[in-house]
Structures are given as structure tokens and as C-alpha cells.
Structure 1
Amino acid sequence: MSGGSDSASAVRVVLATHNAHKVEELRRILGDRLVGIELLGYDGPEPVEDADSFAGNALIKARAAAEHTGLPAIADDSGISVDALDGAPGIHSARYAGTRDSGDNLRLLLANLVGVPADQRGAQFNCAAAAVIPVDGGDAIEHVEVAEWPGVVLEQPAGEGGFGYDPIFQPEGETRSAGQLTAAEKDAVSHRTQAFTALLPWLRERIG
């Protein structure tokens, strides 16, 4: 595991992901709000994410990290839900095309929306942020916050920023895709930012 705080008194919290970029992204998103918290990467086993909701899968990941490390753990599960596809790909966003290749997923989503008019291409980026705090001799304390970032799915990708479905998602009130936003612009309003910003006060209150 790797840390990101110089404070010896900081409370250690594990982010349940093996993706170092995600740890850095969350540190960037939360910024000064992480003062007093040392956010660590996770090097333990990956659990099977078999829940039927973003919240359920986020809790599965946070529980696994808390159990493996004995430390408070946070995790998120996110994806895109398209109205015209009855909410798909939803929790299956990362493996929508049967692979973990984001380009494959993006192309399949566009193919499944061919012929769908602009006024029927509504979609939301969803994020569930979960926290699990181990308790000696008792049941862990758990909490989840959920958020969504509404918009529409474009007919063609635009922009090379972000990742995943960002190039085909145009946020509500924007004329650009999420892939055309700067990192700072995206961080200010994204579903992940909203969910973790809501989760952090609950976590701070309980870890001191």
C-alpha cells in the first residue's frame, strides 16, 4: 500500500482499488478536505462484485478492503445508465462489451443507440461511494452515498480527455462532452465528486 500524507497523526483510510490513478484522482477531487486522512491504495484480493446495484457493489469492495487491512475502507462503483436502454449498461458498464476495454464498451453503446433521436438519448453517470469501518468485537459500521450526473449520449465521440464513456457523454447544461472538459472542470461536478464529497463528513465524524 502507498500513502499520500506527511502527517504522523493522520488517520489511515484504504481506497479499495488496485488502480493507482484512482487513488490520485480521489486525492485530487477531495483536496484539502482530506487533511488529517492518509488515503492508501489497496493490495489485497479483489472480491466478486455480484450485487444488483452500484451501492451493493461499492459495499462489497469496501468490506473486502476493511477485512483484509483492518482499516477503515472506502470504495466506489460507477457507470452510465441510458434511459432508452432501460438503464443499461448500468452496473455492467465496465464489461458491457464482454471485455474490460473501454473502447469496445463505447462502440457497443453507440451501436445500440443508432437511430435513437437526440431528445431520447438521456443518460446519467451514477456513482455509489461506500465506507466500512471495522469495529473490534462487533459488526462493522457501513454507509453509502449515491449521486448522479445527468446528460445525454452523443452520436459520435468528442474529445480525448477523461476515460471510459466520457467522450460520448454530454453533461446537462454543457455544450461539450465530458471528454472535452478539463480535469478541474470535471472534478468540480462529476458523479464521483458528488458521492465522495457527501460521504466524507460521515466518515470524518466516525474516525476522528
Structure 2
Amino acid sequence: MTPSAEILAFMGRLGHDFARPEFLVRALTHGSIASATRPDNQRLEFLGDRVLGLVMAEALFHADTQASEGQLAPRYNALVKGETCAALARQIGLGEVLKLGRSEMLSGGRRKEALLADGMEAVIAAVYLDAGFETARRVVLNLWRDRLDTIEDDPRDPKTALQEWAQANGMKPPAYEQTGRGGPDHAPVFHITVRLDNGETAAAQGSGTKRSIEQAAARTLLERLEGRE
């Protein structure tokens, strides 16, 4: 097949020229527009997740030969989580070339974090199927290079860190409550409050995913608690 101009431009941003562009087209096809003759990207997402995982695990293993498993695991999780995949998808304009059904487009699908993360994993699988593991590894490392170079020694997400703080202080895990919602349907603004057993609370709001707003609330509360220690 002859790729469109927008697909060719995306290949350039991705850093791989597909010999079989049909792999890429499938990777960009969401279930909302799929059909019997036009399969969606879910199987590729499954494969891409594993390819990404191996590349990141190998890179971390060789980058710090003295790190323990307990140190490597949170770094790995920070690099392969959905938020990271979605951020890199935005960086290369993946949302602009996603193939979506009308209802998904109208609901802001090109900006949805889950769709971008899934699409990023599917694209990685497409590169792997088109050119093999070494090429997929090169593409992934090029995209993730800055994050690999700046990964923190303890990059636990704030929700995990707050839960560990609560458990260390004899409390139940933090409770998160959606206390409000505003904005248009395609870009909702969530209001989230986190609460601990001892009555401590913190709130955050924003137009990201509910999980990202929960992370922001957890970060605010954790910084306050750690500031008292």
C-alpha cells in the first residue's frame, strides 16, 4: 500500500520508514472504526507492551549495574506506565493520525490518555513486526532517551508513596473521592480529594485523567506530611 502524506510525516517523527506500512495503519486503528476487514490495534498493543517492557528492562539493567531489583522496579514502572506512553505519543503527534470512529472523534479521542498510550504500544509492535527487535529497540530508546537519562533513583508515583507512608504509620490506604466535575464532556475537569485515617486531606483539580488528578492530590498531601518530619 502507498502511505498517505500524513502517515509519511508520522513515520519521520517516529524515526522508522515502514517497508510494510499496513502494520502502522493497523496500529493506528481504534476499535471505534474497526471492521471485519479493518482490524483494530488491540493485538498489537498487547505485543508492543511486551517489546517496550523488554527494551526498558534491558536498558535499566545495563545503565546501573549496582542497582538492586528493588531500585530497578520503580524506575521500570515509571518508564512503561500509561502516562509516560501517552506523553511520548503526544510528543510525536500520534493523536493526529489515529483512525477513530465519528463518536470517538467528537468526544476528544485524539487527546485521550488511554487511547494515546495504547496507540504508542501498538506502534512499537508495528515497528517490531516490520523490521525486527533491534530496530524496535532503536526506535524506543530514541524516544525514551531523555526519560532514561533523567530517571530518578526512587521514581515511585505519589499515590504509591502516600500509600506506603500511610501503612508505615499504621493507617489504611488513602481514600480518593471525586468531589466535583466541570468543563465540557470532551475535556472534563475533575476535582479530587484524598483523605487519610487521621483526617488529613488534600485536593487537586485538572483536565487530565482522574488518575493524574489523584496523583496531584497525593503529591500535595505527601509534601505537606514530609515537610513536618
User: TM-score normalized by structure 2?
Assistant: 0.23
Which structure has more helix as a fraction of its residues? 2
TM-score by length of 1: 0.25
Q: Structure 1 or 2: larger strand share?
A: 1
Structure with higher RCO (Cα < 8 A, 6+ apart): 2
Computing the radius of gyration from Cα coordinates, the structure with the larger value is: 2
